[in-house]
């Protein structure tokens, strides 16, 4: 691991010192038609260079990310994609350089692929709504193909097949493209399954499609050479993705041209002289048949603006905080750094200054030391920070702070928590062992051994010391997968483990009361639960009394308790000694009390010292608010309306103030009045994006190594690949490139649920408002032609006369002409009154209507409802009402409720049921669905001996069923048809589903816009092996032909219907 870190560091230093060396991570190379020049992307700009290499010339210099250059066929223009307006749009510029012209304005992503043969238009892909006639599932997973004039104007729909990397033939009568079938990460490697890409050709005149490749692995990025020669990239060679040659007209054997064995060939382009150009392992190559691939040495001289250190505010980025024992200081984590602020003024000191991550804060009881976990040198260890100068009592104004390792072993150490006397420290080792470290002896002892708990996400253990330091309460799964129970463990490591509750509903977030006589915990035993087992659950706060006297005192009425407090206060001054408290672990089930009266989604909580008030974060409406309840009386109210996140709560020592984390900040709440005051954090910190990305890269590599479901990492040389991709980090300047590096690295594992994700935020960017209409996007006349009004959308009003065929001539008085992109006229108009000037060519009438558009994202649910209704209507019509239909949108509680509602409502009298799971992206619902569809009648009912319809089990489907599935099923939507078939419940109809049934942890980084996936938990079925990469095959295989689905024919649905009608004859 240290060798890997040295390799990363060396790469950064070498590039900084020798900027004239060859540039790396060169993306999307495109060779010019004459074969003399190569355009490519580097650090978010477009460059061009001589085909023999040399110093590259910048064509764009912009803060945005410019990529995917495409040459016009005459070599005079270059189209490219840029996110200059907050999303990727198509631009075109002179090939010699100059001001680019923006061609597209829709806020969906637009990517250029080619120019038309006459160079007058650009061919691009965009994931917009399919035409009204198209029957394919309503997801914006698929790119429509459009052409747009190089001078700008309306985009015209060419195909809604879902085509990527499309290119014209020389005559312009055909287009070759790669398809897309499902959700898998585009940079995943080596997989063979139904979801991998294939090469197709589209005959424009006949509107017909022909599949050219049939390899079960990846076939992609086709380009056409002379004489209908087809060149494309494929993994058919069995080692890595390479360059292949075939023919459009001949069905002969495909020929492999390159034989790279460690990394994939990507970004293929071709010149008129048949010179091919591509990228391999971050560099650019050219290739001519009969010769070896030639690597092009390219130097890029830029101003290094991407390496500038930036300043970011700390406030709003707080992810964790801990109050000092005296309540005067607040330690917190912001973007992975440790800070300490004064509670009463604006003084803040940065304790750590690293690009790596720190977390898991703990104060020593005297407030002189902070301990935290830090990931440095490739490992999580525990560090302590202390003030150096005598007389300095607060970190926030300390002049010197010393940091040193406290526990630094080869294992990973997390979550330090000081014992009450400050002599010991509890912590988690390797994510599944609970230990206690003695500060004097510098030795650790095991409290809970390996194998009891299995961590899913880092810091997902809850544990706490008892006030006397004799016990630790922790979660204990006892080796099981699902439920955790509270376990009280002797802190010395000796003695019996006590399970004070041991409920089948589990216990979580357990902690002791201040006097140690109560154990508090969360449980959903009394709360409402989702219909699906893995859905949300309402919880309550409970207490188990470890002392009979304390329990008796708690049962007193409020008046009696107040009288007791007065008596105690009067005699307290005469009490000179305290008796040691010894917990009573007998008959605990008789001393269990529910403290909250309303079950809810509850976050953190804290009990006052006298147990008279319980404060907690709960969500009843939108967001979490701070609530208070008096356990003795049940009186409950909102103390502070926060409407925020479920944050931590800390009660001050005097009981007068609560500190609550909320939406990245910390607020003070007065316990008496509920007054909310922000804790002022006005400082900034220096942010080094390049160093932070290097850390995240290293962190991702190590996390996957430690947590991937297969300890052998699918036999991948993980360290070699880590070193390889680390070389490219100095050659990127933003997260678009970084997510690709992460995806390339993680893609080597050949596993589902991997890859990097970058969620760019652009509040000031373009946002095309939606009128709730589908358009005829092949229409070339004046105005925008309506093809359908979306039910429930902004234009679906009782008084509206908008219908199919109506022309929108003007939007807010601006003419919708063919020479402009109509999306410009709806930019950032969500929620505004928009005036439409309309024309009905049938009635030959003109009129105006005012529509209030909604956000484009709100189209999705309406498009989904529309699609489901079309499916239901087809089934009802073709089966004469005998067969029911339901689509499972996602594997979650909301979808399960919808399934139950539809099946046991409108379909309960049907003789058979079609369960459609196509393009379900997963979740955790397989067992619920399996159980629901596996009903066997065992008891009937006859009031007054009149037999009625229905039987037990009344909450299950007991008649025949079948499942439609497709290549678009993913994750738990693989597991469900897999177990449905395994349990013999019915037939699977449609297309194969790739084996993606592995539970994932999507980990968000200190840069909150970046996440990556770690498939962590294997599922193992009857084969006795992980289901990952185990494809489930349909009993009846039915592909969807493009021509049919575009015309409204669903062959898979028809096959399912035929099967069900056959079964119920």
Return d(Cα 217, Cα 994) in angstroms, integer: 11
The conformation of residue 553, written as its DSSP 8-state character, comes to H
753 is catalytic: yes
Q: Which helix (H) or strand (E) holds 11?
A: helix 2-17
Selection from 898, 915, 894 nearest residue 957 by Cα: 915
Give the HSE-up count for residue 913: Cα atoms under 13 Å, Cβ half-sphere. Answer: 27
Phi/psi for 928 (5° steps) reads -60, -45
Return d(Cα 667, Cα 662) in angstroms, integer: 7
Return d(Cα 205, Cα 209) in angstroms, integer: 11
When computed from its CA atoms, the radius of gyration of the chain, rounded to whole angstroms, is 32
Cα separation values, 1054 from 251, 685, 961, 976, Å: 31, 61, 14, 22
484 is catalytic: no
Distance linking the first and last C-alpha atoms of the chain = 65
Neighbours of 2 (CB within 10 A): 9
**Three-state SS at 255:** strand
Return d(Cα 831, Cα 849) in angstroms, integer: 15
Choose the catalytic residue: 337, 424, 740, 1028. Answer: 1028
CA 567 to chain CA mean position, Å: 57
Structure tokens that stand for 1036 in this block: 């009846």
Selection from 571, 575, 475, 455 nearest residue 519 by Cα: 475
Structure tokens that stand for 1039 in this block: 């592909």
Return all residues near 72 (Cβ < 8 A) that are at least 6 apart: 33, 78, 79, 95, 115, 119, 150
Choose the catalytic residue: 32, 159, 770, 971. Answer: 971
Report yes or no: 274 and 266 within 8 Å, Cβ to Cβ: no
Phi/psi for 702 (5° steps) reads -70, -40
Choose the catalytic residue: 267, 699, 731, 753. Answer: 753
971 is catalytic: yes
CA 273 to chain CA mean position, Å: 44
Residues listed for the chain: 1065
Selection from 1034, 1047, 1036, 1065 nearest residue 194 by Cα: 1034
| Long-range Cβ pairs for the range 1040-1046 (8 Å, 24+) | 1040/136, 1040/966, 1040/991, 1041/209, 1042/161, 1042/209, 1043/207, 1043/208, 1043/209, 1045/134, 1045/135, 1045/136, 1046/131, 1046/133, 1046/134, 1046/135, 1046/136, 1046/160, 1046/161
Return all residues near 592 (Cβ < 8 A) that are at least 6 apart: 501, 542, 543, 544, 545
Instruction: Let me know the angle formed at the C-alpha of 767 by 757 and 142, rounded to the nearest 5 degrees.
Output: 55
Structure tokens that stand for 467 in this block: 């006030």
Selection from 115, 120, 109 nearest residue 70 by Cα: 115
Determine if the peptide bond prior to 780 is cis (ω within 30°): no
Selection from 392, 393, 391, 356 nearest residue 372 by Cα: 356
What sections of 803-957 are H helices per DSSP? 859-879, 893-903, 926-932
Return d(Cα 160, Cα 49) in angstroms, integer: 35
Q: Using DSSP, how many helices (H) and how many strands (E) does the chain show?
A: 12, 73
Residues identified as active-site: 753, 971, 1028
């Amino acid at each position: 691991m240290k060798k890997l870190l040295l390799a990363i560091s060396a790469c950064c230093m070498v590039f900084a010192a020798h900027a004239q060396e060859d540039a790396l991570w060169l993306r999307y190379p495109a060779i010019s038609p004459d074969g003399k020049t190569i355009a490519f992307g580097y650090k978010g700009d477009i460059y061009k260079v001589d085909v023999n290499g040399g110093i590259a010339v910048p064509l764009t210099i912009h803060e945005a990310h410019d990529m995917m250059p495409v040459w016009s066929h005459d070599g005079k223009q270059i189209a490219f994609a840029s996110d200059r307006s907050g999303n990727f749009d198509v631009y075109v510029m002179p090939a010699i350089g100059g001001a680019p012209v923006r061609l597209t304005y829709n806020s969906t992503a637009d990517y250029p692929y080619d120019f038309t043969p006459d160079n007058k238009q650009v061919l691009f892909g965009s994931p917009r709504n399919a035409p009204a006639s198209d029957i394919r599932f309503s997801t914006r997973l698929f790119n429509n193909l459009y052409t747009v004039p190089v001078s700008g104007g309306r985009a015209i729909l060419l195909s809604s097949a879902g085509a990527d990397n499309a290119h014209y033939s020389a005559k312009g009568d055909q287009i070759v493209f790669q398809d897309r079938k499902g959700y898998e990460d585009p940079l995943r490697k080596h997989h063979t399954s139904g979801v991998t890409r294939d090469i197709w050709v589209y005959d424009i005149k006949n509107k017909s499609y022909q599949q050219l490749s049939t390899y079960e692995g990846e076939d992609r990025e086709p380009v056409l050479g002379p004489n209908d020669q087809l060149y494309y990239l494929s993994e058919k060679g069995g080692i890595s993705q390479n360059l292949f040659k075939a023919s459009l007209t001949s069905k002969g054997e495909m020929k492999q041209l390159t034989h790279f064995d460690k990394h994939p060939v990507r970004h293929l382009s071709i010149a008129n002289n048949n010179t091919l150009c591509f990228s391999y392992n971050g560099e650019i190559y050219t290739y001519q048949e009969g010769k070896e691939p030639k690597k092009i040495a390219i130097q890029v001289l830029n101003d290094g603006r991407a390496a500038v250190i930036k300043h970011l505010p700390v406030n709003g980025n707080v992810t964790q905080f801990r109050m000092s024992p005296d309540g005067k200081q607040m330690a917190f984590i912001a973007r992975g750094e440790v800070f300490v602020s004064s509670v009463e003024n604006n003084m803040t000191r940065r304790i750590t200054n690293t690009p790596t991550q720190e977390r898991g804060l703990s104060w020593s009881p005297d407030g002189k030391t902070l301990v935290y976990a830090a990931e440095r040198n490739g490992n999580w260890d525990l560090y302590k920070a202390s003030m150096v100068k005598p007389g300095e009592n607060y970190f926030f104004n300390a002049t010197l702070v010393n940091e040193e390792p406290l526990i630094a072993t080869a294992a990973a150490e997390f979550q330090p928590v000081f014992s009450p006397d400050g002599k010991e420290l509890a912590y988690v080792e390797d994510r599944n062992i609970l230990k206690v470290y003695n500060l004097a002896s510098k030795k650790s002892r095991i409290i809970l051994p390996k194998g009891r708990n299995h961590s899913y996400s880092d810091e997902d253990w809850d544990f706490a010391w008892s006030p006397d330091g004799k016990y630790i309460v922790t979660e204990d799964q006892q080796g099981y997968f699902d439920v955790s129970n509270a376990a009280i463990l002797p802190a010395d490591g000796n003695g019996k483990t006590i399970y004070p509750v041991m409920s089948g509903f589990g216990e979580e977030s357990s902690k002791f009361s201040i006097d140690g006589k109560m154990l508090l915990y969360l449980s959903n035993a009394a709360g409402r639960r989702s219909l699906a087992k893995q859905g949300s659950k309402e919880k309550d706060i409970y207490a188990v009394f470890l002392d009979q006297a304390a329990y008796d005192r708690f049962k007193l009425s409020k008046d009696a308790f107040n009288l007791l407090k007065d008596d105690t206060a009067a005699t307290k001054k005469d009490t000179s000694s305290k008796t040691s408290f010894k917990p009573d672990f007998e008959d605990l089930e008789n001393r269990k009390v529910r403290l909250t009266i309303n079950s809810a989604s509850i976050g953190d909580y804290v009990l006052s010292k006298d147990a008279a008030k319980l404060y907690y974060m709960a969500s009843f409406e939108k967001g979490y608010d701070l609530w208070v309840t008096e356990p003795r009386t049940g009186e409950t109210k909102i103390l502070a309306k926060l409407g925020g996140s479920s944050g931590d709560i800390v009660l001050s020592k005097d009981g007068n103030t609560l500190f609550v984390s909320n939406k990245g900040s910390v607020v003070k709440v007065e316990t008496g009045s509920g007054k909310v005051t922000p804790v002022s954090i006005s400082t900034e910190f220096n942010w080094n994006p390049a160093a932070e990305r290097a850390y995240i890269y290293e962190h991702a590599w190590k996390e996957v190594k430690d947590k991937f479901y297969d300890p052998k990492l699918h036999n991948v040389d993980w360290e070699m690949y880590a070193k390889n991709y680390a070389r490219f980090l100095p050659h990127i300047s933003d997260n678009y490139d970084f997510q690709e590096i992460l995806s390339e690295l993680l893609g080597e594992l050949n596993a589902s649920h991997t890859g990097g994700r970058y969620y760019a935020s652009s509040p000031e960017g373009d946002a095309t408002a939606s009128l709730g209409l589908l358009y005829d996007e092949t229409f070339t006349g004046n105005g925008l032609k309506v093809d359908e009004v979306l039910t429930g959308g902004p234009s679906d009003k009782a008084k509206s006369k908008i219908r199919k065929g109506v022309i929108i001539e003007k939007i807010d008085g601006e003419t919708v002409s063919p020479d402009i992109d109509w999306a410009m006229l709806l930019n950032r108009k969500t929620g505004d009154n928009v005036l439409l000037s309309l024309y009905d060519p049938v009635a030959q009438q003109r009129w105006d209507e005012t529509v209030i558009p909604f956000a484009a994202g709100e189209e999705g649910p309406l498009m989904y409802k529309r699609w489901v209704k079309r499916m239901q209507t087809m089934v009802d019509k073709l089966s004469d009402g005998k067969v029911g239909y339901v689509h499972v949108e996602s594997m979650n509680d909301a979808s399960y409720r919808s399934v139950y509602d539809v099946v046991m409502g409108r379909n309960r009298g049907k003789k058979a049921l079609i369960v459609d799971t196509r393009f379900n992206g997963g979740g955790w619902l397989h067992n619920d669905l399996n159980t629901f569809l596996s009903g066997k009648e065992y008891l009937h009912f006859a009031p007054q001996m009149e037999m009625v319809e229905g039987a037990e089990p009344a909450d299950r489907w007991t008649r025949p069923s079948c499942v439609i599935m497709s290549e678009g099923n993913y994750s738990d939507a693989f597991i469900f048809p897999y177990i449905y078939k395994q349990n013999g419940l019915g037939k699977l109809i449609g297309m194969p589903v790739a084996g993606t049934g592995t539970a994932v942890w999507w980990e968000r980084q200190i840069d909150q816009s970046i996440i990556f996936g770690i498939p962590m938990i294997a599922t193992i079925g009857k084969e006795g092996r992980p289901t990952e990469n185990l494809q489930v095959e349909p009993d009846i295989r039915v592909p969807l032909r493009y021509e049919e689905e575009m015309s409204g024919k669903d062959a898979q649905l028809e096959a399912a219907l035929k099967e069900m009608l056959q079964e119920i004859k």
